[in-house]
Amino acid sequence: MSIFTLPDLGEGLNEVEIVTWHVSVGDHVIADQPLVSVETDKAVVEVPAPFSGTVTNLFAQEGEIVSVGAQLVEIDTEKAEDTGAIVGDIAPPPVVEAKPKPQPQPQPQPQTMGRTAVRATPAVRQLAREKGIDLSAVTGSGPDGAILSSDVSNLTNGRVEGKELRGVRRAMAKAMARSHSKIVPATVTDRADIHDWPESEAPTLRLVNALIVACAREPILNAWFDGQRLQLHDQVDIAIAVDTPDGLFAPVLRTAPKAQDIEESIKALKNAVTNRSISPDALKDATITLSNFGTLGGEFAALVVTPPQVAILGAGRISEACLVADGVAVIRRVLPLSLTFDHRVVTGGEAARFLAAVRGDLERATIFDKD
């Protein structure tokens, strides 16, 4: 017998959630075939079988959180023994007369006395008594409506206590807590006059280009800081916040040289997020983040910086505003901008110059020759 433990999947993770087992006890597996799908921080990863053999035990259930190094599956890798050939006549097996199987006796139904019968083990009933819960008011999630201990644990005086965060929202909660404990945030805001943009101009494309331009002007915002060491980056790898019903994803757009390449890359990343085929590598090592939250609503925001990054740019809702040009009030389309930065390493002046560079690039009528 060989026990396979959950390997280190990289990404600095200590635990994963079991999503789907691709094998069952008794199945024969071969090395490298998909064994189980697990969810890391926002990505679903297939873990292959490490060797061939017969599955004899699964140590975790679907939905369970498993730590790196914990027992995952037991596989019998021994080959069946060869008993050799039999020489000579083989007597036929004796004929055994089949006897009819005894018919199961009908079980008496529990007396309900006008109430629905409760299906629960003694342990579950004891837990309900300790919590002061009336089991007749609990909906069971077990076989044939049986009430499980988890059904009781989720109730207090008939009210739901709530569910443990799992998957993407669990990863988001950890990331936000980590940011709150490490980052010293500050935010500056501005508005870009985009009235001269062509009607077909894509805001996200323009924002990506403006970020690249601004990072070249103020490289310190395109950096990582671990609390002691500051690492500047030559390449601008932008995490683009994507809102989904499951939670927030931030796939990374690796810098592309042409507008058409950027547009296609963004579309591919969003599609991968939507169908949950995004790879772990596509979610890590961003150097700065872009949140175009204005497509949903809102004008300005104090955003959350994800360490070790030191900055995030937010774009609010595009709207019309009254501006003054050459002493005359005019109506122009404007794009609100919010820049949140880690004030431990980025000064207010550097942040203001960075945001001014973003605004200046956005206020140009065009940026790329798309031909």
Contact (Cβ atoms closer than 8 angstroms) between residue 53 and residue 2: yes
Whether the pLDDT of residue 94 is over 90: the answer is no
> What is the reported pTM?
0.69
Q: The domain 122-160 is classified under which CATH number: 1.20.1290.10, 3.40.50.620, 4.10.320.10, 2.30.42.10?
A: 4.10.320.10
Task: Using the structure block, give the residue that is written with the tokens 């083989």.
Answer: 90
Mean pLDDT in residue range 225-250: 92
Whether the pLDDT of residue 28 is over 60: the answer is yes
> For residue 146, how many C-alpha atoms fall within 13 Å in the half-sphere facing its CB?
10
283 vs 354: CA distance, rounded Å: 25
Q: So what's the architecture of 2-76 in CATH?
A: Beta Barrel (2.40)
Task: Using the structure block, give the residue that is written with the tokens 């009528």.
Answer: 365
Write down the pLDDT at residue 365: 85
354 vs 357: CA distance, rounded Å: 5
Structural domain boundaries of the chain?
2-76, 122-160, 184-362
Mean pLDDT in residue range 345-356: 98
Q: What is the pLDDT of residues 150-209, one digit of tens each?
A: 777 777 555 555 667 777 888 888 889 999 999 999 999 999 999 999 988 889 999 999
Write down the pLDDT at residue 279: 87
More confident residue, 247 or 94: 247
More confident residue, 41 or 134: 134
The one-character DSSP state at 198 is: -
Among the listed ranges 51-65, 129-143, 211-225, which one has the minimum average pLDDT value? 129-143
Task: Using the structure block, give the residue that is written with the tokens 């060491």.
Answer: 229
CATH topology of domain 184-362: Chloramphenicol Acetyltransferase (3.30.559)
174 vs 280: CA distance, rounded Å: 17
Q: What is the pLDDT of residues 107-144, one digit of tens each?
A: 444 444 344 567 777 677 777 777 777 777 788 888 77
315 vs 273: CA distance, rounded Å: 21
Give the list of residues 6+ apart from residue 60 with CB closer than 8 angstroms, or none: 18, 66, 70, 72
Q: What is the pLDDT of residues 246-299, one digit of tens each?
A: 888 999 999 765 666 888 888 899 999 988 888 888 999 999 999 999 999 999
Q: What is the pLDDT of residues 297-350, one digit of tens each?
A: 999 999 999 999 999 999 999 999 999 888 899 999 999 999 999 999 999 999
